[in-house]
Amino acid sequence: MEKVKDLVCGMMIDPKTAAATSEYKGKTYYFCARGCKVAFDKDPEKYIKGEQEPAHKH
């Protein structure tokens, strides 16, 4: 499987080795770290709408 973007930080990650995942509106989102998942879970729409611009950098 190809890499996917962590919508919170913008990092490209392998879904098979993602540190965390969230389900939202029938879609699975993958995260590089638990902190990114927590941020996403608080306000998923913020990250889905701003998908082109990461909220923070590592």
Residue 57 lies in a domain: no
Q: Residue 38 domain-assigned?
A: yes
**Which whole number is the average pLDDT over 8-32?**
97
pLDDT over threshold 70, residue 53: no
Cα angle: 11, vertex 33, 22; to 5 degrees: 95
Tell me how far apart the alpha carbons of residues 1 and 54 are, in angstroms, rounded to a whole number: 22
Q: Note the pLDDT of residue 52.
A: 52
Mean pLDDT for 25-42 is 98
DSSP assignment letter at 44: H
- The number of distinct structural domains making up the chain is 1
Q: What predicted TM-score, i.e. pTM, was given to this entire model?
A: 0.82
Write out the residue range of the structural domain in which residue 17 sits: 4-49
Residue at 9 is within a domain: yes
Model pLDDT for residues 14-25, shown as the tens digit of each residue: 999 999 999 999
Query: Mean pLDDT throughout 37-44?
Result: 97
The two tokens of residue 11 are 């990092």
Q: For residue 56, is it within any domain?
A: no
Q: Which residue has the higher pLDDT, 22 or 51?
A: 22
Q: How many Å apart are CA 45 and CA 14, to the nearest integer?
A: 23
Residue 55 lies in a domain: no
